[in-house]
Amino acid sequence: MKTIWITGGSSGIGFAVAKKFLINNWKVIISSSNKEKLKLAEKKLKKINKNIIGIKCDITKSIEVKKAINFIEKKIAPIDLALLNAAAYSPNKSQEFDIKNYELLIDVNLKGTLYCIEHLLKCMKNRNNHIAVVASPVGYRGMPTAGAYGMTKAAQINLTESLFFDFKKYNIKISVINPGFIDTESTKKNSFKMPFLKSSNYAADKIYNGLTKKYTFEIYFPFILLTVLKILRILPLKIYSFIWKKLGNF
Ligand SMILES: NC(=O)c1ccc[n+]([C@@H]2O[C@H](COP(=O)([O-])OP(=O)(O)OC[C@H]3O[C@@H](n4cnc5c(N)ncnc54)[C@H](OP(=O)(O)O)[C@@H]3O)[C@@H](O)[C@H]2O)c1
């Protein structure tokens, strides 16, 4: 039986992915920073399959990440696949520069992901394991009002691309997951209409297939939205800014 550790597994995409892996007979460890929320999620998932364990782990605290990974490795099972999915999302309501928002998102999305990778590396070397980071296509290119969140997601995409090369020598596979709009607690904060909005179960199916079938570096969905975003990524700035002007008068 294989083991997956999912950060941010108490809600949204992480919870749905946990469900999917449990149905497919993996041992699943979920973690998140809020103990009560985590216990509730664990209780719900136990109804599907008993092979679920919730471990409180605030990824902004390196020591908590280290303890959680050591506990899993020594007391539960070696981690075959780590899904680094936990993130904070607080969209800027305007184009104001809010340093507190930048700091929060850097701490959770960037430093948190780095702490997980640092401690995973110590045990995963030469075991043919897999680390997947849930980023976002918002990181493909700068977008109006998305500076803080987009910056952290761009960094995750860039980081995973570097580690794709650097971790080959350790026999660790790296993937990045770029979902379009998925209906979760996070996206409920959005006040705009989200095109091609999909459910978290849809995202879980795509992530499960992407991570368990043939190895791919980038797992992205839904196809049409992401293809459009990939084209926008390479357009000259003049055309790109013209499109934003038409869309939202930015
Ligand atoms: N939803 C979308 O449309 C969408 C699109 C593209 C990418 N994504 C990415 O998908 C991932 C999951 O997002 P989601 O929409 O499912 O969000 P969500 O429902 O808000 O879930 C976020 C998860 O992260 C956990 N978390 C937050 N801060 C944490 C911390 N400091 N330490 C540990 N866990 C923490 C939360 O649990 P606690 O509160 O208990 O800590 C929760 O389990 C994120 O990386 C997000 O950027 C989402």
Residue 33 is predicted with a pLDDT of: 98
Q: Report the pLDDT value the prediction gives residue 74, as an integer from 0 to 100.
A: 98
Find the 169 Cα to ligand 1 centroid distance in Å: 30
10 Å CB burial of residue 149 (0-12, 13-18, 19+) is buried
User: Which atom, in ligand 1's list, is nearest to the CA of 38?
Assistant: 40
**HSE-CB of 27 using CA atoms within 13 angstroms:** 12
Predicted pLDDT at 110: 98
The pLDDT value recorded for residue 249 is: 72
127/3 Cα distance (integer angstroms): 13
Query: Regarding beta strands 52-56 and 130-134, do their DSSP bridges make them parallel or antiparallel, or are they unpaired?
Result: unpaired
Q: How far is the CA of 162 from the centre of ligand 1 (A)?
A: 23
Ligand 1 centroid distance, CA of 179 (Å): 12
Q: Rounded to the nearest whole angstrom, what is the distance from the C-alpha of residue 13 to the centroid of ligand 1?
A: 7
Q: Answer whether 0.95 is exceeded by the pTM.
A: yes
Burial class, 133, CB count within 10 angstroms (exposed 0-12 / middle 13-18 / buried 19+): buried
Taking the CA of residue 57 as reference, the ligand 1 atom at the shortest distance is: 33
pLDDT at 122: 97
Preceding peptide of 222 cis, ω within 30° = yes
**For position 139, what pLDDT does the model report?**
98
CA distances from 113 to 32, 76, 108 (A): 13, 22, 7
Q: How far is the CA of 232 from the centre of ligand 1 (A)?
A: 25
**Cα-Cα-Cα-Cα dihedral of 56, 61, 66, 69, to 10°?**
30
Residue 74 CA: distances (Å) to CA of 6, 9, 27: 17, 21, 15
Q: What DSSP element (H or E) covers 218? A: strand 218-221
Q: Domain residues of the chain, as ranges?
A: 3-248
Q: Which atom of ligand 1 is nearest to the CA of 134?
A: 45
Strands (E), 8-149: 27-32, 52-56, 81-84, 130-134
What CA–CA distance (Å, rounded) separates 44 from 188? 22
At 192 the pLDDT is 87
Across the 250 residues of the chain, what is the mean pLDDT of every consecutive 10-residue run?
Answer: 98 98 98 98 97 98 98 98 96 82 96 98 97 98 94 98 98 98 94 94 98 98 98 97 89
Distance CA 227, CA 181 (A): 14
**Ligand 1 atom showing the smallest separation from residue 186 Cα:** 20
List the residue whose alpha carbon is closest to atom 40 of ligand 1: 34
- Specify the pLDDT at position 227: 98
Token output for 228: 């459009």
Query: Quick one: which atom of ligand 1 is closest to the CA of 137?
Result: 6
Atom 44, ligand 1: residue with shortest CA distance: 87
> How far is it, in rounded angstroms, from Cα 151 to Cα 178?
14
- State whether CATH 3.40.50.720 applies to domain 3-248: yes
Q: Which residues line ligand 1 (CB under 6 A)?
A: 7-8, 10-14, 32-34, 37-38, 58-60, 85-89, 108, 112, 134, 136, 179, 181-182, 184-187
- In the prediction, which pLDDT does 237 show? 97
Strands 173-179 and 218-221: parallel
Res 52: pLDDT: 98
What is Dmax (Cα atoms) for the chain?
Answer: 56
Residue of 31, 63, 134, 138 with the most ligand 1 atoms within 8 Å of its CB, for mutation = 134
